[in-house]
Amino acid sequence: MIEPNGFKQHSLVTALGRMVYYTADEKPWRSTDTESPELPTLVFLHGFGGGSSAYEWSKVYPAFASEYRILAPDLIGWGRSEHPERNYNVDDYINTIIEFLEKTCTEPIPVVASSLTAALTIRVAIARPDLFKSLILTTPSGLSDFGEDYTRSFFAQLVSTPVLDRILYSTGIATGAGIRSFLENRQFARPSRVYQEIVDAYLASAQQPNAEYAALSFVRGDLCFDLSLYVSQLTTPTAIIWGQKSQFTGPEVGKRLAALNPQAIRIFQPLEDVGLTPQLELPAVTIGLIRQYLNLLCLETEEKEQVAG
């Protein structure tokens, strides 16, 4: 909910409602006096959780704004995008991501995505490989991988109770104390890295009208699935970054997922002393890795195209 310097809010209409995204329009990235050169597109997709939004990547994507046309959307139900009153499912987000890419991109592009959204993006790339040049993913997990059933967890069962779910959201999730506690104890490896701006940005998103619908769909497990059933179908060149201290899904699960498709998943990089969102916890390290992987995966793609040609 906080825009970096030079980035402005835009929107487009999807089948589920208006979707907001952020791109660099102004100085220091774009000159208002001369026509800016056309740049390749790079998309950043945020993960899910109480208060999630494109802010999650806002400490990372400005580093690429001089080389790429950056697109960082708030997915439907999150941030400043519309929040339809509905129980969201996996297909809602697969279809919305496809629709967003079709409406904003004219050629295959690299996409950076995190956590459950990263797992959904793998499924999007399987369904529509023509949209993608490469994938760089942080902790991609369906949260029910290798037969695990997230919906049986205590918290998922708790928020499946009507009325109680809304009370839990308003009193335990969409509050400054609730968000700080979650970030410090569940999302970050080191609580000292959670500073006030992060809490404020998550809180502003969590308190948007009807924000509870998408968040509760996530917490109930309506958006979870077994990624191991799909990952072998992926053909897009992919790099994975996995926080060693991710409390939702550990790096061993990530290694097992990567091992199912070494032809597509070219890189699996565990990161020490980091949790679910290295892009917020260690943004400089994340920037360096993304830059490295963009170059490596692009080179591999070009070599493959030359051989095919």
Whether 33 has a pLDDT exceeding 70, the answer reads no
**Which of 6-20, 168-182, 269-283 shows the lowest per-residue confidence on average (mean pLDDT)?**
168-182
Residue 15 amino acid letter: A
Q: How far apart are CA 220 and CA 175, in angstroms?
A: 19
230 in a domain, yes or no? yes
pLDDT (average), residues 202-211: 96
Asked whether residue 245 is assigned to any structural domain, the reply reads: yes
Q: What is the pLDDT of residues 43-56, one digit of tens each?
A: 999 999 889 999 99
Question: Is 207 within the bounds of a domain?
Answer: yes
Q: Mean pLDDT, to the nearest integer, of 212-230?
A: 95
Q: Each residue of 41-63: b (16+ CB within 10 Å) or e?
A: bbbbbbbbbbbbbbbbbbbbbbb
Token duo for residue 236 = 């897009």
pLDDT > 70 in the chain, percent: 94
- What is the count of structural domains for the chain? 1
Whether the bond between 28 and the residue before it is cis, its omega within 30 degrees of 0, is yes
Instruction: Give the lowest-confidence range in 104-118, 158-172, 213-227, 238-252.
Output: 158-172
The label of the residue with tokens 């970050």 reads: 188
150 falls within a domain = yes
In the block, residue with structure tokens 């980091």: 274
Residue 108 resides in a domain:
yes
pLDDT confidence of residue 110:
98
Examine residue 111 and state whether it is found in any structural domain, yes or no: yes
| 235 pLDDT tier (thresholds 50, 70, 90) | very high
At residue 90, does pLDDT exceed 70?
Answer: yes
Name the H helices within 109-169.
115-127, 154-158, 164-168
pLDDT at 38: 86
Domain of residue 171 covers 7-308
Q: Is the pLDDT of residue 150 over 90?
A: no
| Average pLDDT rounded to a whole number, residues 271-276 | 95
SS3 259: helix
Answer yes or no: is pLDDT of 164 > 70: yes
Pairwise CA distance, residues 229 & 257, whole Å = 10
Look-up of token digits 């941030």: 79
Q: What is the DSSP letter of 278?
A: H
Q: Do β-strands 7-14 and 17-24 pair in parallel, antiparallel, or remain unpaired?
A: antiparallel
**pLDDT > 90 fraction of the chain, expressed in percent and rounded:** 80
Which region among 25-39, 94-108, 276-290 has the lowest average model confidence (pLDDT)? 25-39
Residue 1 falls inside a structural domain: no
* pLDDT tops 90 at residue 258: yes
- Output the average pLDDT for the chain: 92
Residue 76: the pLDDT is 98
C-alpha of 243 from chain center: 14
Higher pLDDT, residue 150 or 181: 181
Confidence bin at 302 (pLDDT 50/70/90)? low
Over residues 228-250, the mean pLDDT reads: 95
CATH of the domain at 258: 3.40.50.1820
pLDDT at 34 over 70: no
